[in-house]
Amino acid sequence: MAKPPKISEAEWRVLEAAWAKSPLSAEQVVSALAGSGWNHRTIKTMLNRLVKKKALAYKVEGKRYLYRPKVSRDAC
């Protein structure tokens, strides 16, 4: 079994949004984290990091990327 990725506290908040409802576009993740005080670019950076860590997967749909979790909450 593959070792689960190391997830920072900030990345965890992004994953929480994905676990709550997916697939989500980047804009939907930004909306879900509106009260965080983070800039939309910060959230998109975290999405990219989570994809590189193989915690999130994405599918291109038109001009949007739709993100979904690749790991379970328990695995992290």
- Distance CA(63)–CA(61), nearest Å, equals 6
Is residue 1's pLDDT more than 70? no
Per-residue pLDDT reduced to its tens digit, 18-73: 999 999 999 999 999 988 899 999 999 999 999 999 999 999 999 999 999 998 88
- Distance CA(30)–CA(27), nearest Å, equals 5
